Amino acid sequence: MFFARPLARYSVLTLVVLLNIIIWPFIFFTPKPSLEVSFLDVGQGDAIFIEGPTGIQILIDGGRDRSVLRELGKRMGPLDRTLDLILETHPDADHIGGLPAVFKNYRVSAFMEPGIPNATNPTSALESAVADELILHPILARRGMRLMLGGGAYADVLFPDRDVAGIETNTGSVVLHVVYGSTSFYLSGDSPESVEDWLVQLDGAELKSDIVKAGHHGSRTSTGEALLTAANPEVVVISAGKNNSYGHPHEEILARIRASGASIVSTIDQGTITFRSNGTIIRQE
């Protein structure tokens, strides 16, 4: 009995110290909500994973093959098997070839596409995968739509602004402007310079973006001077495969981007490229 009270006091003191060690780091060092935008290394193709500040997850395109599964697993972890939305920018094989495998391995809540019919095997495989997921009514992407990413982050559909069923697939690409706080990303699919110029006419300075994804993997048909002037990006991302047969990215586009003052990062050199925004600052991980 002589030692009971000091021992109890010592135990309580120890518990208080331990709780402070455990709790205070969480109070002071808990990360602020952030927006993640990852340009996945899928070789010669496009795939972009976005996770909003509250955990909403979307995948834009899926590359040409199953390599998208490898990169998604790295970003999402092995236990996360749900996606809130898959968005197809346009039905070319290097953008949708990997999507059926994603539908097979992940539970997908919604599917968005531009509405471009395409009688190819990759399109047929994707349509079957969407049907198997019991998504009976894919969302038709049109200008004026806003995708809410949670925590104040959102993605505005800038294009198409019309029926694109009868036009060339690249020209009908879905273009998004992703915004979180004062930071933003311009994501363009394979849109040609003619669409870029049209959007500059429509939106002007509102196209300002910290990060721009080069159109069509750095092809000379995209990422024109008008877009670079309006968006005035700090960084341009090129998604392409090493030693690809198309010669992407083209030298004149690299020179044009450098002349604009933007720096260039490429999945060819860096693999998957991830940016994280806290609404004020964007950092590359």
Please tell me the predicted confidence (pLDDT) of residue 215.
Answer: 96
Count of H helices and E strands in the chain?
9, 17
Residue partners of 199: CB distance under 8 A and separation at least 6: 158, 159, 175, 207, 227
State the DSSP H helix or E strand holding residue 177, giving kind and residue range, or none if neither.
strand 175-180
Q: Residue 185 is encoded by which pair of tokens? A: 């990303």
Per-residue pLDDT of the chain (285 residues; tens, 9 = 90+): 333 444 445 454 444 444 454 444 544 444 569 999 999 999 999 999 999 999 999 999 999 999 999 999 999 999 999 999 999 999 999 999 999 999 999 999 999 999 999 999 999 999 999 999 888 789 999 999 999 999 999 999 999 999 999 999 999 999 999 999 999 999 999 999 999 999 999 999 999 999 999 999 999 999 999 999 999 999 999 999 999 999 999 999 999 999 999 999 999 999 999 999 999 999 999
- pLDDT of 137: 87
CATH 3.60.15.10 describes domain 31-284: yes
> What pLDDT, on the 0 to 100 scale, is given for residue 1?
36
Q: Which residues is 135 bridged to in the sheet?
A: none
The residue whose two tokens read 């925004």 is: 277
Short-list 179, 195, 181, CA closest to 89:
195
Q: What is the pLDDT of residue 34?
A: 97
Element (H, E) at 175: strand 175-180
Burial 171-193 (b: 16+ CB within 10 A, else e): bbbbbbbbbbbebbbbbbbbbbb
Q: pLDDT at position 95, please?
A: 98
Which is nearest to 113 in space by CA: 46, 182, 165, 47? 165
